Every structure is written in C-alpha cells, then in structure tokens.
Amino acid sequence: MNNEENITGIILAGGKSSRMGSDKGLLVYNNKTFVEHIIEAMQPLVSEIIIVSNTKDYDQFAHKRVEDIIPDSGPIAGIHTGLTHSNTPSNFVVSCDVPLINRLLLEKLSLQDKEIYDVVQFEDNGKTIPLIALYKKRCAKKCIELLDANEKRLRKLVSALEVKTISILEKERVLVANINTVDDFKVIKNAVNH
C-alpha cells in the first residue's frame, strides 16, 4: 500500500475480444485468469480495485464491478466509467490483456510527481502504452468530451492531457506483453514451458 496517498486500480475488461475469440480477461495462464494476475500486481498498491465490465462473470473476483456508463464505445468509455466510480485522485488503469504485469512496474507509474501530470504512461521503442498507466480522476471530463464528439481513439485522449511518458527498460519488455490473439497467447505459454 502506498502510504502517502491511496490509489484505485481500474481494470478494463469490457472489450469484444474479437481477435482472441473468447473473453481475454478470463483466459487462464499459469493457473490464474489474466484478471487475477493483474489484481495480484495491483493489490499491494491500491486501496480499491474496480473492474469495468458488463458481464457478471467478473463478479467471481470479489472486487467492485461496474458497467460502462456509455456502452460499446471502447477503452475511453471504460476509463471514463472507472474514473467516475473511483474515490481517489490517482488511478492505475490497466487493460485485462497484460497478464505478465507486476507490482514493481506499476509502482514506477506512481512514483512520478503526480501533482503535475494527468497521465503517466509507459512507452516501448516509441510505442506508447496508454492502457498500463496512471490517470487522474479529473481525466473523466476529457473522456466524456471526446465520446460526445464520437472520438474513440485513445491517443486523442492522451494527447489532450498533460502526460509523462516513461521508457520501459529492456528487461521490462516482457511484462507489458499485450495478448490479443491465440498466437500471442501461445508465445507466453511456450515461454513458460521452456
């Protein structure tokens, strides 16, 4: 637990998983669902965990589950819902498809000067990772502005905010692996078996 300030952990699990063909957050890797791996990484750092999903399957994890306020509108809508339900100024926002994430990596996001930035995110080789990031609750306002304008691109959200981007280290690259397809999943399963 962060002693200076409480943080909320928001897990986005309301996507369609169309590339995977089954709900990504509920895939089992190393005997735990993807969502359980993320909960485990977040839990020591946060005062509350909120799962944003419209399906009751996520009630099994015994954390607060909330449904999208604006349905079928992509990750910005998920962030908007999570931040709206949060009771803390700072919030980890993590997608449900990064099962290798760990506490130390998330902690790095929270060690920045949080007063200055709306968003603290990672980047890997020039590619930003806005769904492993720390967002201020106040960003909910910008989310709703974009959704009202029918803008669903995450990069539009982040570029409209005060953002700090941290480059991940070579050894951390594996931790941010984004599992979108059956082939992506095979890669991490095979890595464990070797």
Binding residues for GTP: 12-14, 24, 68, 97
- In the three-class reduction of DSSP (H, G, I as helix; E, B as strand; rest coil), residue 146 is classed as helix
> Judged by CB, which is closer to ligand GTP: 71, or 111?
71
Pick from 27, 64, 24: nearest CA to 46 = 64
- In the three-class reduction of DSSP (H, G, I as helix; E, B as strand; rest coil), residue 91 is classed as strand
- DSSP H helices, the chain, are 34-42, 75-85, 103-110, 140-148, 154-159, 182-193
Query: Least separation, in Å, of the C-beta of 156 and ligand GTP?
Result: 14
Do the Cβ atoms of 164 and 115 come closer than 8 Å?
no
How many CB atoms within 10 Å of residue 120? 24
Count H helices, E strands: the chain?
6, 9
CA distances from 5 to 1, 90, 107 (A): 9, 8, 13
Enter the tokens of residue 49. Answer: 């965990």
> Judged by CB, which is closer to ligand GTP: 2, or 152?
152
> Judged by CB, which is closer to ligand GTP: 51, or 114?
51
- Known binding site for Mg(2+): residues? 97
Query: Least separation, in Å, of the C-beta of 12 and ligand GTP?
Result: 4
Binding site for ligand GTP (CB under 6 A): 12-20, 24, 52, 68, 72-75, 77-78, 95-97, 131, 180
> Judged by CB, which is closer to ligand GTP: 83, or 120?
83
Query: Least separation, in Å, of the C-beta of 113 and ligand GTP?
Result: 27
Rounded Cα gap, residues 185 and 178, in angstroms: 9
Query: Least separation, in Å, of the C-beta of 182 and ligand GTP?
Result: 11
Residue nearest to ligand GTP (CB): 15
Query: Least separation, in Å, of the C-beta of 70 and ligand GTP?
Result: 8
> Judged by CB, which is closer to ligand GTP: 19, or 108?
19
